[in-house]
């Protein structure tokens, strides 16, 4: 107790707001956006600890191995960041349409179609210089994924079809298309047990960031998230999108082209997820097969909600959830937990985060009244 | 024409059999979702409920030796998940669609976690009634082996139709779905009505899941449900929130889902995966045809967030 009070940082942290009541009024909102999701995350971890304790595992061991497997060593950090890369991109697929008030949960489908398009581009351009092939893969992945989600946006705008359900149906359709092509027209005859396309070629792989095992996809993700943030919060287009998301009727009255907004945002959203598919092909798998449906699209939805649909906040949240999935292997080996435990934890976090939405604006001391 | 070589007739027969067999989960989930949506809330988490129902039915059937106890356990599990959904949704400013997505992930994850030890053992399955006794052709007999749950579901559809129209409970649910203010003015708690409607919806979806693991395909594994739950939710929109139309739509979807395996059995294998996606393509096509941006759908509960 005394040591805590003696800590100057702690003391400043607790006294300064009281001395300046305006501080909380100005920053209460920002503090809320960190405090409430943080509390939800802590609550979810607590609930998951109780859950594994019911199966006779020690929750403290659980937390230790989760930390160790996610952020404990340089090796685990690299594993975490490798998994965070596609999560940043698929989270953007939910976060961008959310600015317009749309709930798109089809990132997984856009990822698969993006991977398929990127692989096709690479296979068509075999023999060209690697840089050209890689650029073509990025373009093909973005366009493929973008058009896939834009379809949901267009159906919503022109036919009134609910975008949440259509995007989810399109995930299943995308998987069927992928399986159809991988086992049919695009199949590499040499892939016997696991039907796959031909490999894109080692020269065309995008490789790792120098000095690490983390592939360049992480940089793609960071650039995309920052670009999305600038687009949404610092451009006229982003402002128009947020106006339309706040009040669609007002947006129409002031003459905004809502159709164009919806289609563009959905294209960019799908393009991000399609880029994730391209990255998984060009940096990890080297070819397209059913392994690509690893659930990054679905975890991305959780990342977007936990980040409260803010493109910049997506980066740390994606790293956090990348860490959780990176620690899954260690939890299996050391604690004997099933691989689905990561799914359970993700579900619990999601439930807690959504329930915590009720808390905004209700925490007394953050209103600066005390 | 000798037995077992009825040629191309296999396909329509298999589709008919599929319409009966495959449609049952669609039927239960869509009837359950119909009740929930009529009360003004949408539960997208029924996909997770379906998988949890399948897992708990299989587990209880294996442990107790009674598949019917398994069905009951699946229903109770579904009702609990429904209560969780309704409980979170009753908090202020919480979006019911997002909660549904969360419970979809949670239910699926929990089922995979708890169901790990159930992949190996074989649980007692639900019995079937042989309506094909009059025929000598094995394909006909196979197509007409009907499960009791299917008959219960078929009976449930007109009962629900009647209940929505004429009973006090049906009226209350519809009032909550059309105008929560009106329900409140009558002195009823909208949250409580929706809680009950979501729990009953979850109960039925859980039973739909028990059919998957205890009858067809009749085992527990992690690939058991491939989006039947979400297809059934979309199916309710297509059926215009009418339980009788839910029945016909479920039969059509069951038939569509059986098309891929049926064609494969006669040697048409090229489009296998595309035919497997037939229910999703059909759902999407029907939604494109029937929805319109200019008006809300006829029959849509006014309080439903998905149609606003």
Per this entry, what is the length of chain A?
Answer: 370
Q: Which of B95, B97, B287 sits opposite A161 (nearest CB)?
A: B287
Q: Which residues contact A178 (CB under 8 A, 6 or more apart)?
A: A112, A113, A115, A116, A288, A290, A292, A293
**Residue A10 lies inside a defined structural domain of this protein:** no
CB atoms under 10 Å from CB of B279, counted, come to: 29
Tell me which chain A residues have a C-beta less than 8 angstroms from the C-beta of B108. 343, 347
Which residues does chain A have within 8 Å of residue B280's beta carbon, measured at their own beta carbons? 169-170, 172-173, 176
User: Is B300 part of a structural domain of the chain?
Assistant: no
The alpha-carbon gap from A347 to the nearest alpha carbon of chain B, in Å, equals 4
CATH of the domain at B120: 1.10.3470
Question: For residue B308, is it within any domain?
Answer: no
Is A47 within a domain? yes
Which residue in this structure is represented by tokens 């009134």?
A: A160
Whether B306 has its CB under 8 Å from any CB of chain A: the answer is: yes
Chain A interface test: which of B48, B101, B241 (most A C-beta within 10 Å): B101
- A159 domain-assigned: yes
Q: Please check whether residues A260 and A205 belong to one and the same domain.
A: yes
Which site among A50, A97, A103, A171 would you substitute to test the B interface, given the most B Cβ atoms closer than 10 Å to its Cβ?
A103
**Does the pLDDT at position A292 exceed 70?**
yes
> Does A174 share its domain with A272?
yes
Q: Per DSSP, what are the bridge partners of residue A187?
A: A197
Using only the alpha carbons of chain B, give its radius of gyration. 20
Residues A106 and A129 in one domain: yes
Question: A247 with A293, same domain?
Answer: yes
Q: What is the mean pLDDT of residues B158-167?
A: 95
Q: Are A248 and A112 in contact (CB under 8 A)?
A: no
Number of domains in chain A: 2
Q: Over 90: is that where the pLDDT of A35 sits?
A: no
Q: Does B300 touch chain A (CB under 8 A)?
A: no
C-alpha to C-alpha distance for A267 and A254, rounded to whole angstroms: 24
Are B284 and A169 within 8 A, CB to CB? yes
**Residue A219 per-residue DSSP state:** H
Higher pLDDT, B136 or B244: B244
Into how many domains does chain B fold? 1
Chain B nearest CA to A184, separation (Å): 7
Residue A6 in domain: no
Q: Is residue B297 part of a domain?
A: no
Higher pLDDT among residues A277 and A11, named by residue: A277
Shortest distance between the Cα of A20 and any Cα of chain B, in A, equals: 31
The highest-confidence range among A348-362, B185-199, B224-238, by mean pLDDT, is B185-199
Do A338 and B113 lie within an 8 Å CB cutoff?
Answer: yes
Tell me, what CATH number does A166's domain have? 1.10.3470
In-domain check, residue B165: yes
Strand partners, A196: A289
Would the CB atoms of A354 and B94 count as touching at under 8 Å? yes
Mean of pLDDT values over A119-148: 95
Answer whether residue A11 is part of any domain.
no
Mutate to test the interface with A, among B98, B285, B308 (most CBs of A within 10 A): B98
Shortest Cα–Cα distance, B93 to chain A (Å): 6
CA B260 – CA A172 distance, rounded (Å): 15
Domain assignment present for residue B305? The answer is: no
Burial of B31 (0-12, 13-18, 19+ CB in 10 A): buried
The answer to whether residue B299 is domain-embedded is: no
Contact B81, B229 (CB under 8 A): no
Whether the predicted pLDDT of A268 surpasses 50? yes
| Residue of B94, B109, B119, B289 to mutate when probing chain A, most A C-beta within 10 A | B109
Backbone angles phi, psi at A101, to 5 degrees: 80, 15
Instruction: Let me know: does A9 contact A16? Beta carbons within 8 Å.
Output: no
What is the complex's ipTM, to 2 decimals? 0.88
Q: What is the value of pTM for the model shown? A: 0.88
| Residue A186 located in a structural domain | yes
Residue range(s) defining the domain that contains residue A354: 20-57+341-370
Residue B257, chain A, CB below 8 Å: the answer is no
A370 and A349 in a common domain:
yes
Q: Is position A8 within any domain?
A: no
How high is the pLDDT of residue A365? 65
Question: Which 149-168 residues of chain B touch chain A by CB within 8 A?
Answer: none
H/E segment holding residue B129:
strand B128-130
Taking residues A73-92, report their average pLDDT: 96
Has residue A154 been placed in a domain? yes
Q: Do residues A188 and A74 both lie within one domain?
A: yes
Which domain, by its residues, includes B206?
7-290
Query: Is B301 part of any domain?
Result: no
Dist CA B266 CA B272 (whole Å): 12
B123 or A237, which is more confident: A237
Q: How do residues B215-272 score in pLDDT, each as one tens digit?
A: 988 889 888 887 888 888 888 888 889 999 999 999 988 888 888 777 877 777 777 8
> Does residue A30 sit in the same domain as residue A101?
no
Q: CA-nearest residue of chain A to B297?
A: A160
Reported for A46-50, long-range contacts at CB under 8 A and 24+ positions apart, including other chains, are A47/A348, A47/A352, A48/A344, A48/A345, A48/A348
Please name the member of B88, B116, B283 whose beta carbon is closest to the beta carbon of A338.
B116
Q: Quick one: average pLDDT of B265-284?
A: 81
Cα–Cα distance measured from residue A71 to residue A323, given in angstroms and rounded to the nearest whole number: 7
Q: Which band of pLDDT confidence, cut at 50, 70 and 90, is reported for residue B287?
A: confident
How far is the alpha carbon of B166 from chain A, nearest alpha carbon, in Å? 31
Q: What is the pLDDT of residues A167-201, one digit of tens each?
A: 989 999 999 999 999 988 888 888 878 889 999 98
- Please indicate, yes or no, if residue B62 is contained in any of the structural domains: yes
**Of chain B residues 259-278, which have a CB less than 8 A from chain A?**
270-274, 276-277
Residue of A nearest to B283 (CA): A169
Question: Are A176 and A108 within 8 A, CB to CB?
Answer: no
């Amino acid at each position: 107790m005394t040591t805590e009070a003696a800590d100057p940082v702690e003391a400043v942290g607790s006294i300064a707001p009281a001395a300046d009541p305006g501080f909380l009024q100005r920053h209460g909102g920002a503090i809320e956006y960190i405090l409430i999701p943080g509390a939800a995350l802590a609550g979810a971890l607590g609930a998951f600890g109780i859950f594994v304790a019911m199966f006779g595992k020690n929750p403290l061991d659980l937390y230790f191995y989760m930390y160790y497997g996610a952020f404990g060593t340089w090796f685990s950090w690299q594993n975490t960041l490798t998994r965070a890369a596609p999560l940043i991109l698929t989270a953007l697929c939910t976060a961008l349409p959310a600015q317009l008030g749309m709930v798109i949960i089809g990132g997984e489908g856009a990822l698969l179609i993006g991977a398929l398009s990127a692989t096709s581009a690479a296979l068509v351009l075999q023999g060209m210089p690697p840089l050209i092939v890689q650029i073509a893969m990025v373009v093909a992945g973005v366009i493929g994924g973008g058009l896939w989600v834009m379809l949901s946006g267009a159906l919503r705008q022109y036919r009134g079809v609910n975008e949440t359900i259509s995007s989810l149906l399109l995930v299943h359709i995308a998987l069927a298309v992928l399986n159809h092509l991988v086992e049919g027209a695009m199949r590499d005859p040499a892939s016997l047990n696991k039907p796959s396309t031909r490999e894109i070629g080692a020269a065309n792989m995008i490789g790792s960031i120098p000095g690490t095992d983390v592939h360049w996809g992480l940089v793609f993700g960071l650039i995309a998230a920052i670009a999305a943030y600038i687009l949404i919060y610092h451009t006229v287009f982003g402002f128009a999108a947020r106006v339309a998301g706040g009040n669609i009727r007002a947006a129409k009255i002031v003459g905004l082209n809502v159709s164009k907004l919806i289609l563009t945002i959905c294209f960019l959203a799908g393009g991000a997820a399609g880029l994730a598919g391209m990255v998984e092909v060009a940096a990890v798998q080297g070819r397209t097969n059913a392994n690509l449906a690893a659930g990054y699209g679905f975890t991305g939805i959780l990342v977007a909600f936990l980040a409260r649909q803010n493109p910049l906040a997506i980066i740390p949240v994606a790293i956090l959830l990348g860490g959780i999935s990176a620690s899954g292997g260690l939890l299996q080996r050391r604690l004997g937990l099933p691989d689905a435990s990561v799914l359970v934890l993700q579900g619990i976090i999601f439930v807690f985060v959504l329930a915590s939405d009720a808390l905004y604006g209700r925490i007394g001391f953050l209103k600066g009244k005390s | 024409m000798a037995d077992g070589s009825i040629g191309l007739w296999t396909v329509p027969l298999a589709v008919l059999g599929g319409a009966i067999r495959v449609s049952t989960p669609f039927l239960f989930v869509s009837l359950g979702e119909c009740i929930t949506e009529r009360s003004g809330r949408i539960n997208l988490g029924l996909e997770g409920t379906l998988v949890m129902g399948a897992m708990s039915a299989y587990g209880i059937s294996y442990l107790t030796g009674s598949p019917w106890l398994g069905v009951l356990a699946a229903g109770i599990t579904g009702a609990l998940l429904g209560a969780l959904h309704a409980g979170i949704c009753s908090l202020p400013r919480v979006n019911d669609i997002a909660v549904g997505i969360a419970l979809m992930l949670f239910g699926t994850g929990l089922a995979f976690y708890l169901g790990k030890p159930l992949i190996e053992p074989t649980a007692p399955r639900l019995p079937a009634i042989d309506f094909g006794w009059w025929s000598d052709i094995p394909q006909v007999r196979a197509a007409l082996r009907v499960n009791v749950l299917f008959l219960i579901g078929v009976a449930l559809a007109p009962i629900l139709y009647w209940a929505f129209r004429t009973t006090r409970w049906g009226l209350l649910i519809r009032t909550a779905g059309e105008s929560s203010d009106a329900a409140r003015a009558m002195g009823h708690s909208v949250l409580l009505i929706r809680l009950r409607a979501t729990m009953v919806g979850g109960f039925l979806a859980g039973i739909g899941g028990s059919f998957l693991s205890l009858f067809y395909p009749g085992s527990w594994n992690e690939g058991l449900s491939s989006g039947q739950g979400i297809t059934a939710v979309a199916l309710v929109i297509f059926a215009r929130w009418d339980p009788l139309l839910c029945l016909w739509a479920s039969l059509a979807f069951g038939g569509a889902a059986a098309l891929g395996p049926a064609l494969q059995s006669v040697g048409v294998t090229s489009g296998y995966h595309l035919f497997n996606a037939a229910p999703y393509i059909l759902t999407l096509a029907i939604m494109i045809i029937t929805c319109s941006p200019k008006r809300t759908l006829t029959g849509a509960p006014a309080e439903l967030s998905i149609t606003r």
